[in-house]
Amino acid sequence: MAAAALGASAHCAAGAVTGVSEGWDAAPMHQRIAQAGNTVVPALLAVESLGFAVKVIGTHVMAWRGEEEYLADDAVALLGLIRLVEIRSWDWAASDAQIEETLRRYEMG
């Protein structure tokens, strides 16, 4: 399965990621990862390793296991949704207060 079929972008070096603040380049880090075309297959493999069946449907990726179903625009987002439910359970939605606080904290609203 080609990465392009999943809507993946071309591989880019961490220092060349557009739209990321200077902190990305300047921060001393031991490990780094950025979503790019080279993360699609590892994300699919990670989802499969968690026991999910995976199917690519047009430009979307679907995974299911037992009574769980997930649908996302790409494999990395799919893995993120699975992790979201693992962390927050199926009551993953944020309350109005959490939304307001988070948007304020990250200067998003």
Q: What is the mean pLDDT of residues 11-21?
A: 49
Residue 65 · residue 52 · CB < 8 Å? yes
CB proximity list for 50: less than 8 A, separation 6 or greater? 65, 82
Query: What are the tens digits of pLDDT across the range 47-97?
Result: 999 999 999 999 999 999 999 999 999 999 999 999 999 999 999 999 999
Global pTM reads 0.75
Task: Give pLDDT, residue 90.
Answer: 98
Residue 14: CB atoms within 10 A of its CB come to 13
